Amino acid sequence: MPTPSTILITGGAGFIGSHTCVELLDHGYSLVAVDDYSNSSPQVYSRVQRIADRCLSAVYRLDLRNTRAVSDVLHHHSVDAVVHFAGKKAVGESMRKPIEYYDTNIGGTTSLLRAMDEHGVHQMVFSSSCSVYGETDKAPLSEQDPARPTNPYAASKWACEQILADVCRLRPEFRVLSLRYFNPVGAHPSGLLGESPRGGEVNLMPRLAQVADGERKSVTVYGDDYATPDGTGVRDYIHVMDVAEAHRVALEHLDDAPGMRVFNLGVGEGTSVLELLAVFGETCGRDIPYTVEDRRPGDVSELVADPREVAHEWGWRPTRDLAAMCRDAWRFRQLNPLGYAD
């Protein structure tokens, strides 16, 4: 995609969205961001702009399911492509609130597609998830492996992928790259941006940081009876700046081929809960107490990427290691103990 191009970012104030805003501003893109701030804060944009030393073209508060509101945004800005992050992302919460997850994630995506089509915008990079692979004893996982979602969150992402693939098949002007992220963690090295969830369920890395600085007494490890080397869940952690970079590279490859294509976004290395806990403890020089409880409903034992397809197609691979992920997440926590308090 030639720069400067104008990109609509949905969920731009979120964890991955905000880091991607920095990466795209740094590379000359003009950005229009929309978010309902259900899991983020508008304050994040001033930090994005401070890091990038450039402004976003516009920022809107809206719920993606409001097609009219999205359409109004596309009416006012000549957008070349959409990077679609907005959605709900917590596996455990999705087991308790399945309707909310299907409505937000699938309804938000179809609403966005309608508004895009109305304004002749047909290119999208979509945030999918490795959770679509579900419970499997295969590691690493390639894009050709079957999807077997085990919770409504994963099922909603799989449904979106199927909808997007079908739209691309029936309407060849559409081009979609669906990126199945494994576990994005870490933070911007400046310490200005990071993972700052508003209540609800907290992912493992921000939870480790909460315990390290004493906000919580211990980490609950969800199960130590999985068929993994130490019995705890294994994931493929990838630095959020690598994920942001991958979106910039993806935008350059949207036109490579017709239809929808799916890519894994992971490092290709599995890390257990206890291993991550140990590396995080070493990084911050503190003990991280933990207790073991039952498995979290909807969780799977192990998800590790085969990352070769992205490397082969785009000549790109993640470069930041687990120590950098922990170091940056800890720096963000130390500099922002209250997150983006507003």
Ligand X SMILES: O=c1ccn([C@@H]2O[C@H](COP(=O)(O)OP(=O)(O)O[C@H]3O[C@H](CO)[C@H](O)[C@H](O)[C@H]3O)[C@@H](O)[C@H]2O)c(=O)[nH]1
Q: How far is the CB of 139 from ligand X (least distance, A)?
A: 13
Task: Please choose which of ligand NAD, ligand X, none residue 38 contacts, taking the beta carbon within 5 to 8 angstroms, the exact cut-off set by kind.
Answer: ligand NAD
Question: Under the criterion CB under 6 A, does residue 219 sit at the interface with ligand X?
Answer: yes
The Cα–Cα gap between 127 and 142 comes to 17
Q: Which stretch binds ligand NAD (CB under 6 A): 12-20, 50-58, 266-274, 290-298?
A: 12-20
Neighbouring residues of 86: CB distance < 8 A, sequence distance ≥ 6: 10, 11, 14, 17, 34, 35, 36, 64, 108
Question: SS3 of 277, please?
Answer: helix
Question: Under the criterion CB under 6 A, does residue 133 sit at the interface with ligand NAD?
Answer: no
Neighbours of 296 (CB within 10 A): 16
Question: Under the criterion CB under 6 A, does residue 45 sit at the interface with ligand NAD?
Answer: no
Place of tokens 């104030």: 13
Neighbours of 341 (CB within 10 A): 9
Q: How far is the CB of 152 from ligand X (least distance, A)?
A: 12
Which one of residues 77, 84, 89, 239 is an interface residue with ligand X (CB under 6 A)?
A: 89
Write out the H or E segment, with its range, that includes residue 176. strand 175-181
Question: Under the criterion CB under 6 A, does residue 222 sit at the interface with ligand X?
Answer: yes
> CA 272 from chain center: how many Å?
20
Q: Which stretch binds ligand X (CB under 6 A): 31-39, 50-58, 200-208, 258-266?
A: 200-208
340 is catalytic: no
The Cα–Cα gap between 58 and 80 comes to 15
Question: Under the criterion CB under 6 A, does residue 267 sit at the interface with ligand X?
Answer: no
Q: Is the dihedral of CA 295, 298, 302, 303 positive or negative?
A: negative
Our CB check for ligand X shows the closer of 30 and 131 to be 131
Site track 144-173 with ligand NAD (rule: CB under 6 A), x = hit = ------------------------------
Catalytic residue among 153, 181, 222, 340: 153
The Cα–Cα gap between 132 and 130 comes to 5
The Cα–Cα gap between 341 and 198 comes to 10
Angle, CA 48 vertex, CA 46 and CA 52 arms, to 5°? 115
The Cα–Cα gap between 21 and 48 comes to 7
Q: How far is the CB of 203 from ligand NAD (least distance, A)?
A: 6
Task: Please choose which of ligand NAD, ligand X, none residue 73 contacts, taking the beta carbon within 5 to 8 angstroms, the exact cut-off set by kind.
Answer: none
Nearest CA among 86, 51, 23, 11 for reference residue 239: 23
Asked if the peptide bond before residue 140 counts as cis, ω within 30 degrees of 0, the response is yes
Question: Under the criterion CB under 6 A, does residue 88 sit at the interface with ligand X?
Answer: no
Question: Under the criterion CB under 6 A, does residue 112 sit at the interface with ligand X?
Answer: no
Which one of residues 71, 94, 104, 123 is an interface residue with ligand NAD (CB under 6 A)?
A: 104
Site track 227-246 with ligand X (rule: CB under 6 A), x = hit = ------x-x-----------
Task: Indicate the residue type of 123.
Answer: Q
Phi, psi for residue 4 in degrees, rounded to 5 = -80, 135
Site track 44-83 with ligand X (rule: CB under 6 A), x = hit = ----------------------------------------
Alpha helices in 184-233 (DSSP H): 204-212
Nearest residue to ligand NAD, using CB?
14
Angle, CA 326 vertex, CA 342 and CA 151 arms, to 5°? 75
Q: Could you say which residues in the range 82-101 bind ligand NAD, by CB under 6 A?
A: 85-89
Which one of residues 18, 20, 30, 129 is an interface residue with ligand X (CB under 6 A)?
A: 129
Catalytic residues: 153
* Residues binding ligand X (CB under 6 A): 89-91, 129-131, 182-183, 203-204, 207, 219-222, 233, 235, 273, 296, 299, 303
* Residues binding ligand NAD (CB under 6 A): 11, 13-17, 35-40, 63-65, 85-89, 104, 108, 127, 129, 181, 183-184, 203
